[in-house]
């Protein structure tokens, strides 16, 4: 997908640019998000095997999280989303990224990133 289409179809601040977690949180605030209000934050991970996914899920499961794993039945590769509602802060995002990145890496996977809604 070309640069224009990628920017056109993408959602969130800083589209088309790789921002640090702090820059992305500040971009949400600049776009009009009230960071004092709780909001849903979605993290995405990719894992190469079904066995790794099944081993990872209980490690990252918490009462305040909703986790969905989509496993490709042919390849075993999976896309995992971890959603939670909280107040968006750079510290929270950095802690969540570190936790999920380390957990995914333990099973040969990767942390893809996070996103949230821009609500006033």
Model confidence at 11: pLDDT above 80: no
Q: Domain for residue 39, yes or no?
A: yes
Across 30-50, average pLDDT: 92
Q: Domain for residue 103, yes or no?
A: yes
Model confidence at 5: pLDDT above 50: no
Please tell me the predicted confidence (pLDDT) of residue 120. Answer: 66
pLDDT in tens, 82-97: 999 999 899 999 999 9
Q: Domain for residue 15, yes or no?
A: no
- 82: CATH: 3.30.70.970
Q: Domain for residue 13, yes or no?
A: no
pLDDT in tens, 48-88: 999 999 999 999 999 999 999 999 999 999 999 999 999 98
Q: Is this prediction's pTM over 0.75?
A: yes
For the chain, the domain total comes to 1
Q: Domain for residue 2, yes or no?
A: no
Q: Which domain holds residue 30?
A: 20-116
Q: Domain for residue 8, yes or no?
A: no
62 vs 72: CA distance, rounded Å: 24
Task: State the virtual CA torsion across 24, 3, 79, 40 in degrees, nearest 10.
Answer: 30
Relative to beta strand 65-71, strand 78-87 is antiparallel
Q: Roughly how many angstroms between the first and final C-alpha of the chain, as a whole number?
A: 31
Query: 32, 114, 58, 48: which is closest to 81 by C-alpha?
Result: 114
Q: Do residues 77 and 108 make contact, with C-beta atoms less than 8 angstroms apart?
A: no
Q: Domain for residue 34, yes or no?
A: yes
């Amino acid at each position: 997908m070309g640069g224009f289409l990628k920017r056109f179809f993408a959602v969130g601040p800083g589209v088309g640019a790789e921002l640090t977690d702090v820059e992305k949180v500040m971009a949400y605030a600049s776009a009009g998000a009230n960071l004092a209000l709780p909001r849903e934050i979605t993290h995405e991970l990719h894992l190469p095997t079904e066995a790794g996914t099944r081993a990872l899920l209980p490690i990252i499961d918490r009462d305040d999280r909703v986790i969905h794993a989509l496993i490709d039945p042919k390849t075993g590769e999976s896309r995992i989303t971890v959603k939670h509602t909280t107040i968006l802060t750079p510290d929270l995002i950095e802690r969540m990224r570190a936790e999920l990145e380390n957990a995914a890496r333990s099973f040969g996977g990767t942390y893809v990133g996070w996103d949230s809604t821009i609500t006033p």
